[in-house]
Structure 1
Amino acid sequence: MRFVHGQIAWMVATIVVLTVLGALSYELFFVCSLIGFLIVTELTAPVTLTPAWRRRLTWLIALGLGGFAVVVIRRILEILPPEVLPW
């Protein structure tokens, strides 16, 4: 339950901070939540025995990093001038 509470607290804090800064967007919230997910995963990792549910977090991390790659590629394509793109 520490893991779930930590993740929820991180996501609520992210929403509050991004709203106060006026920078709330789906992409930015996703990236900040992914960073929080990775931090909470490491901070709550057991030392001796790994429960079965924690092994499944690897798939969620892989999906999150894939989503992060999509966000980065979209941002790069927005920045590049049209004459650089091959299509």
Structure 2
Amino acid sequence: MPTRRRQQFVVGNMAWLLGSLLVLSLLGSLSPELFFVVSLIGFLVVVELTAPFAVTPTWRRRLKWVIGIALVVFGYIVVRRILEILPPGII
């Protein structure tokens, strides 16, 4: 049986994902990169809001790997966007 915090984490994350998908599609700016960035921000907020005070469960320790991989992908997206903005011949 999932704990209360784990259930809050899953529900909060799913609500953020669906809400961001809805808002981005209503604004007409839905792209995979933008959805990923907005989802990552929401994921990190939900991780912090549902963090326990004293004991860290095993499933929360595994989130470090997910966060690390997501931050690497985020860095790749940022570098790609910067390279698109720079005029050709600078790099």
TM-score range, shorter chain: over 0.9
Shift of 1:48: 1.6
1:32 counterpart residue number: 38
| Equivalent AA in structure 2 for residue 45 of structure 1 | A
Q: TM-score, normalised by structure 2?
A: 0.91
- Correspondence 1:78 to 2:78: no
User: Structure 1: 5+ residue runs without aligned partners?
Assistant: none
| Equivalent AA in structure 1 for residue 67 of structure 2 | I
Q: Deviations for 1:7-58, whole angstroms, at most 9, x for unmatched residues?
A: 0000000001101111000000000000001000000001121100000100
Identity across matched positions, percent: 58
User: Structure 2: 5+ residue runs without aligned partners?
Assistant: 1-6
1:50 counterpart residue number: 56
For 2:19 and 2:73, how far apart are their aligned partners in 1? 21
